[in-house]
Structure 1
Amino acid sequence: MVVVSNRLPVDYVGGDGADTRWKVSPGGLVTALEPVMRANEGAWVGWAGVADREFDPFEHDGISIVPVPLSEDELEEYYEGFSNDTLWPLYHDVIAPPSFHREWWDAYVRVNRRFAETAARVAAPGAVVWVQDYQLQLVPRMLRESRPDLVIGFFNHIPFPAYGIYSQLPWRRQVIDGLLGADVIGFQRAADAGNFSRAVRRLFGYKTRGTVLEVPGADGEMRHVVARHFPISIDAAAFEELARTPEVQQRAREIRRSLGDPEVVMLGVDRLDYTKGIRHRMKAFGELLRDERLSVQQATLVQVASPSRERVETYRQLRDEIELMVGRLNGDHAALGHPAITYLHHGYPRQEMAALYLAADVMLVTALRDGMNLVAKEYVASRYDDDGVLLLSEFTGASDELRQAVLVNPHDIEGLKDAMVEAVNMPPRERARRMRALRRRVIENDVANWSATFLETLTGVGKIPGGVSDALRGAVSRLAQTPRLLVALDFDGTLAPLVDRPEDARATDRARAAIERMSEHEDTRVALVSGRALDSLKEVASPPVAALLSGSHGVELQLDAGGVTIDLREGELARLGELIEIVESAASASDGAWVERKPAGIALHTRKLGASAGAALQRSARDQVEQALPGLATRTGKNVLEFAVRASDKGEALIRLRQHAGADVVLYIGDDVTDEDAFAILEGPDVGVKVGQGKSLAAYRLNGPDDVAELLELLADARDASR
């Protein structure tokens, strides 16, 4: 495994040669990836943070560190210029105007190529390479061209803008093409992934289906690229553990005393950046003091603004503006021993931050645009006492998850002021209720879950623990509150263990019982979505009367009491007869192979054959069918090859089932490659669960039918309890 990021996970401290000293960089990305890197003999490619200096590769704490050199000119043009004065403002909705300079773009291409060449040099055959963030968007394509054997992922830690904004970039096609070199492209929010997919369609005309993009490969074959959201998080347990230490709790008490023991301490923690809405929160706070809705004896604001990009003129101007506002507000409103604003322009170690979080009654996160905002999650993780109020901008990725925060539009100063007063006056019971819900969300979706989910989607080889994970249990709790829920389930390998004879397959007793219970609720619909012909599905599944059914990969649908089968035209019937003759003839030549006839096609099963014999038979059958009947829909599953004279898939079936059920949210569970079409059309609060190993679009995993039964029981219990 190789991680490629602008910065290394270690900072240069000093020394030369054998005496060179390094220390681990603080940050969630390092925390998330260190265990994975050590377990997979990982290498980390990045800049050491020192211009015009080359360092040899070295080992640090079980990870190979591979420094990439940058000159002072490249630092100015590639990093401060194109990355932070072109892409950063553009991707943050042009809150500040971006600058477009051709020499900056040239430097960006040159440095991206150096990173790609370094990664290609250190990556073993077939290695997984995970590229991080907006500074290196060209690296995936460069890697794919030089090392097509690699599995390549990319994660964008900042927002991705709507096409109307993105289209301003003169090099818009080159950047999108660079990203499409990856197999999986991750974003913080579903909206960001949607913006990216729309840009792909507008600029290249490539077909997109849900989170899957069809991209031409170098060999002319179509590649499937996944573009979806993977919201990043923090090491929640570490923050809680730190907050529980006596030293941190004592420091929190000292902080409050040093501020004059106000009734309410408000806290803002940000990089000094124009996207963070620092001016907006200060303006709102100043007007509350001016209008006497708050007083400095009642409330004080602590603003931590860590230095950022101080060589960029926009940031120097921002610092001057913020410090002028602080001076004016303190001059107008502060009293002896009671500052209006305590402004701190430097960073703090994690221990001091945990103390600040514990000391703060209200956390102000008023970003104008933010990919995630981990400060909000750090505050929640630190509040093991179930106290404190999080006031959170709806323009942060965190607002998608932390719905129990007080959500605000920071551009609406009057609304922001009202929300701040609401937070100050919130009753203790309401504070505790909200904070408990926020903490459950942050703990369930920590940084380890983020990295594991991304890498499992990228590689499909993540180890799946037995039972239902805490993260999936949290998803079940949210599903239970859904007004109208559709539970859609594959059958073979999901509800029923795989067997040699398809007619012997039966769902587990526990799964059947849970399905029966859910079917009794008027606001819960259950659907079975199978590749089997509808008659076969009914025979083996014995579904509840109220269940919706989809057979033959969506060719057949039974909605309520009536069945709907797509009638084949005369030409399709003729092709079907010829198809059956070819496939049955091919199967008859191999002992153990059998065929399954379907209304619009036929399936060749090779489960009883060895892997090599089964693959050889499938290749032979495919060649014969393609020669005689070109253009037929072909689908490969687990030890099965299917042909159809009319194309359909489980994704199309799920769309129709959802519409018929009028469902607000869908839970889909499946184990096969064919279920990926259904996972691809899930969106927003929908939940996809992949059963077993293999690359998948689903966000969650289960081991097998027994775990599926446990999940369905949990959902049935939660659905009963919510009524």
Structure 2
Amino acid sequence: MTGMQGLTGGRELVMVSNRLPVDRVVASDGSSTWRTSPGGLVTAVEPIVEQLGCVWVGWAGNADERIEPFELGQMRLEPVELSSDDVELYYEGFSNGTLWPLYHDVIARPAFHRQWWDRYRRVNQRFAERVAETAAEGAIAWIHDYQLQLVPEMLRKLRPDLTIGFFLHIPFPPRGIFEQLPWRRAIINGLLGADVIGFQRVPDAISFRTIAERYTHTQALGNTLVLPATDDSPGRTVLAQEFPISIDAAAFAEVARRPETQARAREIREELGNPKRMMLGVDRLDYTKGIRHRLKAFEELLTDDEIDASDIVLVQVASPSRERVDAYRKLRDEVEVTVGRINGEHGTIGHAPLVYLHRGYTREEMVALYLAADVLVVTPLRDGMNLVAKEYVACREDEQGVLVLSEFAGAADELNDALLVNPHDIEGLKAALLRAVHMPQEEQRRRMRQMRRAVHDNDVAHWANGFLGSVASVSESRGASHASGLEEGKTGPISIVPQAFVPRSVGDRLRRIATASSLLVATDFDGTIAPIVRRPQDARILPRARQALEILATAPGVRVALLTGRSLDGLAQTGTGTSGEGWIISGSHGSELTGFDVSGVMAASGFGEPTADEAEWLHRVNRRFERVLGGEPGVRLERKPFGIAVHTREVHDEEQSRELQAAAVELGLAEGLHVREGKQVREFSVRASNKGAVLQSIRDALPVGPVLFLGDDVTDEDAFSVLGPDDLGIKVGPGESAATERVPDPAAVAAVLARLVELRTGIVIGSD
């Protein structure tokens, strides 16, 4: 795996996690050494560490043990000491008795104890201090997971020179669940100490940004949170978005190709009695993993004679986990009782339909199990990602095997050719298991081929490049903003343009339309190709998006259209010209149109100059709005050729902003105007027009072909509504939409347009 060397810009990388990525190995003579542990985090970041090297700060795993720093491979390990009380209160208590169940949809009941919280805070401070003592000047600190959510803020106070990234490997809960936490503000403020906060899934990132806006003085602009200046710190921005974690797919495939691995897979089948079908489950023994649901479905299939116990074996690997925590001890007892009952009722002297293995295995043994298994069953009730599902797919170069996957695992977003199930629906789970064991080889091959493409396209290098690249991008963009004279504490143009992902479903749709002989690419401006800013005149198209659109505008068979609510004059203030670019540009929500021979379109669709009656009406309307709202602090009135827009983005009080918008609507309705609602803007027009009508008029005047339309606001829904089944509508950001696909922010829009350029022309546009 290559291409990571430039990610840190030569700066030291400091990894920070609850546990160090090593296990102690004690020899027969009592001597001990260290080896890399097989955990999920370690597996994910191992290729990064091998290429970049790092300092790693974490606990070595034994209470009340002081260990001096040591080196292993490319890592310098800096142990943090935890006492027995720390382990009980911080780790087993608050981390795994409070946060873990709370963040996993309250599958188990979380406990809220003040002494747990106090110890969690103290241990987080200890981690922050160790990083502050250890990290080189200007280093990148990459903090991992729910045990250390206060460290970013603490570390920023100790070492403001560091660039700080935080990645949450587990789900982040929706607001209704997170609000149960008594220390919710402290957790949010702790995370906001980072420059980049990474989540596994889009809903997790959206949930965090929503909660951060509610409980702190931040404002969300797309996937960026703007933090105002305080007496202690200048204003700054935090990027909070999804970065789906993955695996080193090539490394797993290499292990799977080894003759000894394939021989071991055949041995496993033989040891199991060469069953017709082997099913496999691989999990930590945790109540979130849905092991009990899986066993219940399997038992009912046996009881109902839907499957033959002599023909099938389910191998359940359940590695030990948190065995001092009472909920985990109870789960182990329950699972082992269930295993005994199933084998007692359905097994024979020479054959057990369920093989239960309560221990961990090496990567080589796991790959052999993956190759031996006809079906992998992954049924978590809630899971951030689940790398086991990706590992299985990466190993199956034979394109055989079936993945049964919970829709509540993050991996389901990418591996949608798996048999997706709701593990709470036992009947549905049983149906999926039966479907899996009887799936024809050709269907297995088709599904596996698609999933393998997804895993290899979005491997751990892609994840690392996305996350670390965004850390570097945010840091450099902030430096550029200050270098250009942006005053500290002031909110000016947001120029953060991090690397962004093109969702797989969007990429698939782009491939379909990219080869059309005629293609219309249409986009909104504000919030779509230009990040939303407080002062509309400060908005600028992201450089990557502009470059992509300029290339597309000159590509054979492609037309580019910009559909904006701004007037053409207002658009020109942003540096986006209305001629000479080869673009079709519609302003004022379709009332203005320029950029190609539109005479016929204008006659048919009502474009042109205002009539004498409309001009008189506009004069009266503008005078009335100026008199009523022109003197309100923060309100900006924008005159347009066919109406007026009332902007309240610069009104600092949210409730006052809403009241002013409501007053504007009342005034507009009283004048008989057509009203449109946008994000912190209300627009009023003497002529009925919308982006859907103008988009339809433009496409009617062009050769027949598909349309790509991208938009973020309520006013863009008119355009989404006129798209057909062969078109592609992409909604930017949250909110209900008629669009068929969604991306989080303008940076992702730029990535989508760059991908379309690559597919259409072969030209690769780098990130900003």
* Structure 1 and Structure 2 fold alike (TM over 0.5): yes
Q: Of 179, 198, 202, which residue of structure 1 is paired with 2:210?
A: 198
1:476 counterpart = 2:507: yes
Which residue does the alignment assign to 1:513? 555
Which residue does the alignment assign to 1:674? none
Contact map agreement 1:48 1:68 (CA 8 A) in 2: yes
Q: Of 178, 187, 196, which residue of structure 2 is paired with 1:175?
A: 187
Which residue does the alignment assign to 1:595? none
Alignment of 1:376-391 (within 5 A): 376-391=389-404
Contact map agreement 1:115 1:139 (CA 8 A) in 2: yes
SS at match of 1:421: helix
Alignment of 1:625-664 (within 5 A): 654-655=712-713, 658-662=716-720
Alignment of 1:72-221 (within 5 A): 72-204=84-216, 206-219=218-231, 221=234
Question: Residue type of the partner of 1:190?
Answer: V
Structure 1 residue 52: deviation in Å?
1.2
CA distance 1:476–1:513, change in 2 (3 Å): same
Structure-1 separation of matches of 2:286 and 2:520: 42
Structure-1 separation of matches of 2:361 and 2:623: 75
SS at match of 2:579: helix
Structure 1 residue 167: deviation in Å?
1.7
Question: Residue type of the partner of 1:121?
Answer: E
CA distance 1:456–1:658, change in 2 (3 Å): farther
Structure 1 residue 700: deviation in Å?
4.7
1:7 counterpart = 2:19: yes
Which residue does the alignment assign to 2:33? 21
Q: Of 567, 579, 596, which residue of structure 2 is paired with 1:539?
A: 579
* TM norm structure 2: 0.70
Q: Of 352, 358, 373, which residue of structure 1 is paired with 2:386?
A: 373
Which residue does the alignment assign to 2:657? none
Structure 1 residue 352: deviation in Å?
0.8
Structure-2 separation of matches of 1:532 and 1:407: 49
Contact map agreement 1:307 1:345 (CA 8 A) in 2: yes
Q: Deviations over 1:39-71 (max 9, x none)?
A: 666321111112212222233323322111111
Contact map agreement 1:193 1:228 (CA 8 A) in 2: yes
Q: Deviations over 1:634-677 (max 9, x none)?
A: xxxxxxxxxxxx999xx997536742420686669xxxxxxxxx
Which residue does the alignment assign to 1:582? none
Structure-1 separation of matches of 2:750 and 2:115: 41
Q: Deviations over 1:53-97 (max 9, x none)?
A: 222223332332211111111111111111111111111111111
1:276 counterpart = 2:289: yes
With 49-58 and 152-161 compared, the bigger mean Cα shift is at 49-58
Structure-1 separation of matches of 2:81 and 2:255: 36
Structure-1 separation of matches of 2:103 and 2:268: 37
1:307 counterpart = 2:320: yes
Structure 1 residue 477: deviation in Å?
2.9
Q: Of 710, 713, 717, which residue of structure 1 is paired with 2:761?
A: 713
Structure-2 separation of matches of 1:12 and 1:443: 33
CA distance 1:647–1:310, change in 2 (3 Å): same
SS at match of 2:321: coil
Structure-2 separation of matches of 1:85 and 1:241: 39
Listed as ranges, the gaps of 5+ residues in structure 2 are 1-12, 477-498, 524-528, 531-540, 595-600, 611-617, 627-637, 641-679, 683-708
Q: Deviations over 1:82-131 (max 9, x none)?
A: 11111111111111111222211111111000000111122233322111
Structure-2 separation of matches of 1:8 and 1:308: 16
Contact map agreement 2:24 2:35 (CA 8 A) in 1: yes
Which residue does the alignment assign to 1:51? 63
CA distance 1:426–1:654, change in 2 (3 Å): same
SS at match of 2:141: strand
Q: Deviations over 1:332-380 (max 9, x none)?
A: 1113433110110111101111111111111111111111111111111
Structure-2 separation of matches of 1:470 and 1:210: 14
SS at match of 1:280: helix
Structure-2 separation of matches of 1:665 and 1:383: 33
Structure-1 separation of matches of 2:750 and 2:467: 9
Contact map agreement 1:688 1:700 (CA 8 A) in 2: no
Which residue does the alignment assign to 1:449? 462
1:243 counterpart = 2:256: yes
Structure-1 separation of matches of 2:46 and 2:509: 31
Contact map agreement 1:259 1:337 (CA 8 A) in 2: no
Which residue does the alignment assign to 1:331? 344
Q: Of 250, 258, 263, which residue of structure 1 is paired with 2:276?
A: 263
Structure-2 separation of matches of 1:555 and 1:59: 64
Question: Residue type of the partner of 1:393?
Answer: S
Contact map agreement 1:495 1:708 (CA 8 A) in 2: no
Structure-1 separation of matches of 2:216 and 2:175: 13
Contact map agreement 1:445 1:471 (CA 8 A) in 2: no
Q: Deviations over 1:566-621 (max 9, x none)?
A: 99967999xxxxxxxxxxxxxxxxxxxxxxxx999xxxxxxxxxxxxxxxxxxxxx
Structure-2 separation of matches of 1:419 and 1:492: 45
Q: Of 78, 93, 96, which residue of structure 2 is paired with 1:66?
A: 78
Structure 1 residue 139: deviation in Å?
0.4
Question: Residue type of the partner of 2:277?
Answer: V
Structure 1 residue 202: deviation in Å?
3.3
Structure 1 residue 533: deviation in Å?
5.2
Structure-2 separation of matches of 1:284 and 1:391: 13
Structure 1 residue 137: deviation in Å?
0.4
Structure-1 separation of matches of 2:171 and 2:550: 44
Contact map agreement 1:679 1:698 (CA 8 A) in 2: no
SS at match of 1:538: coil
Structure-2 separation of matches of 1:536 and 1:51: 62
Structure-2 separation of matches of 1:206 and 1:105: 25
Which residue does the alignment assign to 2:614? none
Question: Residue type of the partner of 1:406?
Answer: L
Question: Residue type of the partner of 1:245?
Answer: R
Q: Give percent identity, aligned residues only.
A: 50
1:234 counterpart = 2:247: yes
Structure 1 residue 183: deviation in Å?
1.6
Q: Deviations over 1:312-336 (max 9, x none)?
A: 1111111110010001011111134
Q: Deviations over 1:186-220 (max 9, x none)?
A: 11111111222232233336332332222234446
SS at match of 1:381: helix
Structure-1 separation of matches of 2:562 and 2:758: 16
* TM norm structure 1: 0.74
Alignment of 1:668-707 (within 5 A): 685-686=741-742, 700=751
Contact map agreement 2:377 2:405 (CA 8 A) in 1: yes
Contact map agreement 2:510 2:756 (CA 8 A) in 1: no
Structure-2 separation of matches of 1:119 and 1:418: 50
1:412 counterpart = 2:414: no
With 6-15 and 422-431 compared, the bigger mean Cα shift is at 6-15
Question: Residue type of the partner of 1:537?
Answer: G
1:434 counterpart = 2:476: no
Which residue does the alignment assign to 2:236? 223
Structure-1 separation of matches of 2:520 and 2:77: 48
Question: Residue type of the partner of 2:555?
Answer: A
